[in-house]
Amino acid sequence: MASPSPILASQPATAAPETRPRYTSALSAVTTLFFLWGFITCLNDILIPYLKAIFQLSFALANLINLCFFGAYFLMSIPAGKLVARVGYKRGMLLGFGVAALGAYLFYPAAAQRVYGLFLGALFVLASGITILQVAANPYVAILGPAESASSRLTLTQAFNSLGTFLAPLLGSALILSRLPKLDSGVDARAIDVTAVQVPYLVIGTILLLISLLLSRVHLPRIAYAPADAPTDAAEAASAWSYRHLVLGVVGIFAYVGAEVAIGSHIVNYLALPDVMNLDAETAGSRVSLYWGAAMIGRFAGAYLLNKFAPSKLLAFNALGAILLILVSLSTSGEVAMWSLLAVGLMNSLMFSTIFTLAVAGLGHFTEQASGLLCTAIVGGALVPLLFGLVADHSGLRTALLLPVLCYAYIVWYGLRGSRRG
């Protein structure tokens, strides 16, 4: 099966040199999307400890935030894949912006009514828009240029996603967690005002609409596939499910997102443990940015490294590094426990883009369908943290960290064996 060879639908394949500037412009425009959804997604790491304290929730109930947000990927990704295949990448992105903006605006009435269920509903709508953006933008970046540099290209755009995840905890801690008094100060948590989330999400919704307006005026070249990309085997032609490396990659995305979100969502509570750092919520929240900042650094470096080393081997190496760092954190205390867990973000850096591009390699006109399946697997960010919360409620946060270890172990195997085509 040949690797995807994207060409402009309006021009012959021989016009590649002339299309490079257009590819550069399109790639720059799409990169802004990665920054925005990174920022929005990482705000969940601030919402979880904030709403947990406000509504006096258990870890399991607080993780309903992740369930609603990442559950949207499970419910909406396949329909979004069909939508993008029908209307095109650009229109799909514009629709995604509109839905995400609506979800952000719904935070205002949710806070005004002070109802946890309304927050969850707003998050689901917001995440549905982000899902459409993901389904449209990830494969667009992957096929917007030479197939051999797809992992490097997607990793570079993911680095700007990490820039958003780096800034979100800093701003979220200053604007949201700073409004959260210590619960041992005699303040009744049920009486604390939850309107601290209204202004940030109103601003987010407005920015989403403005970027959507700008994107509508940017030319994004329409991508078509060369005839060589059409499957010739009858079994292969039936569905993207016929590709083993894709199916195993779906599991890989599930494991990666689940592990990354489970760790990121509980860093604030982990650093508040007496035997770790005993930090207050605002200070611990600012440290979350280091976890995502490490991923940003790793992705900028990875854009270079993926052109020098086999992506599958780098994936296995990083997953193994994540396992070792978690085990170090579990077996230590104080600053060693803190820094080793935060450093897992560096190991996470290459995983999504590398698993994604390894999984869609050689799928030709099944790329949109495969993207929908892979984005569906982002539901790992809902289910793994929920299970993490249940374990934490019964056995403690340290024990719960063994769950991400299992997820990373699968990714080691996928990098070494499961990503092989054939």
310-365 tens-digit pLDDT: 899 999 999 999 999 999 999 999 999 999 999 999 999 889 889 988 998 888 77
The confidence score (pLDDT) of residue 325 equals 98
Amino acid, res. 228: A
Mean confidence (pLDDT) of the chain:
82
The confidence score (pLDDT) of residue 78 equals 80
This prediction's pTM: 0.74
The confidence score (pLDDT) of residue 413 equals 97
Other C-beta atoms closer than 10 Å to the C-beta of 280 total 14
Confidence of residue 63 (pLDDT cuts 50, 70, 90): confident
In this prediction, residues 12-27 reach a mean pLDDT of: 48
The confidence score (pLDDT) of residue 230 equals 47
In this prediction, residues 398-405 reach a mean pLDDT of: 97
Higher per-residue confidence, 33 vs 318 = 318
* pLDDT digit string, tens, across residues 144-177: 666 666 666 767 777 787 788 888 888 888 888 8
- Whether 8 shows a pLDDT value over 60: the answer reads no
Pairing of strands 223-225, 6-8: antiparallel
CATH level 2 (architecture), domain 21-220+234-418: Up-down Bundle (1.20)
Tell me the range of 51-65, 95-109, 368-382 where mean pLDDT is highest. 95-109
388 vs 251, 274, 280, CA distance in Å?
18, 20, 22
Amino acid, res. 144: L
Higher per-residue confidence, 285 vs 29 = 285
In this prediction, residues 406-419 reach a mean pLDDT of: 95
In this prediction, residues 137-148 reach a mean pLDDT of: 68
Other C-beta atoms closer than 10 Å to the C-beta of 128 total 24
* pLDDT digit string, tens, across residues 242-282: 888 899 999 999 999 999 999 999 999 999 999 999 998 88
Q: Which residues contact 351 (CB under 8 A, 6 or more apart)?
A: 256, 260, 315, 318, 319, 411
Q: What is the CA radius of gyration of the chain?
A: 21
The confidence score (pLDDT) of residue 1 equals 34
Report d(CA 36, CA 100) in Å as an integer.
11
